[in-house]
Structure 1
Amino acid sequence: MINVFIGRDRAEDIAWHVLAHSLVRRSSEPLALTAIGNSTLPKKVWWRERGPHDSTEFSNARFAIPALMGYRGWAIFMDCDMVCDADIAELWEQRDERYAVMVVKHDYRPKTDTKFLGQEQSRYARKNWSSLMLINCGHSSCSELTPDYINVASGLDLHRFDWCWDEEVGSISGLWNVLVTEGGRLEHPEPMPEDCDIKLLHYTVGGLWHGYGNRADAWMPEFSSLLAGSNPCADLVAEYGNGLSFAGAYKVRNEAKANLGSKANGQGHAATRPN
């Protein structure tokens, strides 16, 4: 069983579900998926309010994972604004007991002052390292992440991994957590030739659900797959593609169903579903 915690912000619920879908349908191992954010955690572990520099409801809540795991075993944390195109078990196999945490060591330097939903684009050392983490919850340094500490520590101290030694921060290899940055440009510490195997895309400045179209060709098929098959919302994808808002597409679909029901009954209202 692979424990995966995905950051949850109520303004980005659709992104959470698309990422979860992309993980589940490719994983060769069973997954335990947990939504983590300010509104999902027990008060005995997390009582911290969202701060003025927190761009999401899970900005700092991710650091409660070792406590939630009882300071035992390993867990993966992921921001919700991602989509996976590989078996997450491949990432899981990289666990190394020498490290308290393993990350992709980006050197991302934002070129704008704001990002999705008008949030401040903060600049700090090790930015985006904490957006994907393999966390060794039983490591002695992770025991420093007590509720009393994580609820008062500065966001910078948490995200720069000031709670552990530099040599205890390991590197994730492979094209995991490839950043989709300004203008759709891709950033990653490893080389990315034209035919490279990108395993996990991260829409760090905003995704299609925010109104950004950059690299939508990776996210939209996963969204369509989530709604495919017998899902009654599947036809919303086509309507949305025709330029309607989700609310508008939902209205069109329901009106069409009502009209079909009226014709079937020869009456001026939709057919009643039989018991």
Structure 2
Amino acid sequence: MSPETVRVFVGCDPNDCDLEQMLVLEHSLRRHASLPVDIRWMQLSSNPDSPWYSDPARRAGWRTERWATPFSGFRWAIPAVCGYQGRAIYMDTDTIVLDDIAGLWRAPIDDGAIVLARRDKSFSRFCVSLWDCAAARAHLPAATQLRADPDAHGNCMKYFQRHPQLIGAIDPAYNNIDGEHQPIENIKILHYSDMGTQFSHAHAMPRLRAEGREHWFDGKLLPHPRRDLADLFERTYAEALAAGRKLDDYRNPTPFGAFAKKSERGHRGNRVTRPGLLARVGRFFGS
């Protein structure tokens, strides 16, 4: 693969709950990209040969029971999956790309840093991040250890909290959380992070009910406070369909089935979507 092919790893649900998000992300990413893009969907798999293999009944492969999402811990294995070579971008699936991804892909990573991520005062957000895969090898647990340890996700977050010098600061516009009082033209990647207010729910929830399924998010659904961002999602969704993309293109041919994860019945969102509540920092860890 050419070094100018942008490798983008996306964490998403393995049971077709995130189809709308996947469709919007890919359409928006490719629409603005000036470089070739290789998107790799990271989904729990029952295939032992998959890097995302998990068998909850046997407690084999990835242990997800302490994750907030079906993919929370996958991001730490990306350098290993890349053979500790080159660069790789990670994104949660609940994102809309509004700028050329080449700007992030080619961003300089300072000496001593192994990843670019958004740094906010006392913590960092890795929900959009750029990895130097070779440099990360000395600091991340082996993939086998990541998979076997249900606390690996939280432990990696804590490790980087203790070693902030490993994190280069990303332009916050590449991980804009739910608008943050910024006009759309100032946003490069919109992360509609509050799981209770995600725009895709308006489509996914009725679709899943019609299919006799349930969404993995079990918290309370609320309207998003930014109507303009909701309209942006709807426009991008309609454009993707008009361009020939179909939800069925994103269906998992072998849905994973039941898996363990934390309940989000008490999900408190963030300070942008719910300014009346003090959103806990820990909620960003699982986004």
**Interval containing the TM-score (normalised by the shorter chain):** 0.5 to 0.7
Residues 213 and 173 from structure 1, CA distance in 2 versus in 1: closer, same or farther, beyond 3 angstroms? same
Is 1:198 the counterpart of 2:187? The answer is yes
State the partner residue of 2:134: 138
Structure 1 counterpart of 2:123, one-letter code: R
Residue 8 of structure 1 deviates from its aligned partner by 1.4
Residues 160 and 218 from structure 1, CA distance in 2 versus in 1: closer, same or farther, beyond 3 angstroms? farther
Residue 60 of structure 1 deviates from its aligned partner by 0.5
Tell me which of the two structures has the higher relative contact order, counting C-alpha pairs closer than 8 angstroms and 6 or more residues apart: 2
Q: Residues 199-218 of structure 1: matches in 2 within 5 Å?
A: 199-206=188-195, 207-211=198-202, 213-214=223-224, 215-218=229-232
Residue 177 of structure 1 deviates from its aligned partner by 1.0
**Matched length:** 205
Q: Check the 8 A contact 2:23/2:245 in 1, yes or no.
A: no
Is 1:3 the counterpart of 2:30? The answer is no
Residue 130 of structure 1 deviates from its aligned partner by 1.4
State the partner residue of 2:42: 36
Q: C-alpha distance in 2, partners of 1:158/1:92?
A: 23
Residue 97 of structure 1 deviates from its aligned partner by 5.3
Residues 162 and 149 from structure 1, CA distance in 2 versus in 1: closer, same or farther, beyond 3 angstroms? farther
Residue 223 of structure 1 deviates from its aligned partner by 0.4
State the partner residue of 1:76: 89
Q: C-alpha distance in 2, partners of 1:58/1:193?
A: 28
Q: C-alpha distance in 2, partners of 1:156/1:148?
A: 16
Segments of 5+ residues of structure 1 without an aligned counterpart are 108-124, 181-185, 234-275
TM-score w.r.t. the length of structure 1 is 0.66
Is 1:225 the counterpart of 2:239? The answer is yes
Q: What is the SS of the residue equivalent to 1:54?
A: coil
Structure 1 counterpart of 2:170, one-letter code: I
Q: Residues 101-250 of structure 1: matches in 2 within 5 Å?
A: 101-106=115-120, 126=123, 129-142=125-138, 144-151=140-147, 152=149, 153-162=151-160, 165-180=163-178, 186-187=179-180, 194=183, 197-206=186-195, 207-211=198-202, 213-214=223-224, 215-229=229-243
Greater radius of gyration (CA): 1
Q: Check the 8 A contact 1:66/1:145 in 2, yes or no.
A: no
Q: Check the 8 A contact 2:10/2:40 in 1, yes or no.
A: yes
Q: C-alpha distance in 2, partners of 1:131/1:55?
A: 13
Residues 230 and 131 from structure 1, CA distance in 2 versus in 1: closer, same or farther, beyond 3 angstroms? closer
Deviations 1:173-227 (A, max 9, x none): 25111111xxxxx33xxxx665751111111113122245423122111101110
Q: Over aligned residue pairs, what C-alpha RMSD do you find? A: 2.7
Structure 2 counterpart of 1:17, one-letter code: L
Q: What is the SS of the residue equivalent to 2:33?
A: coil
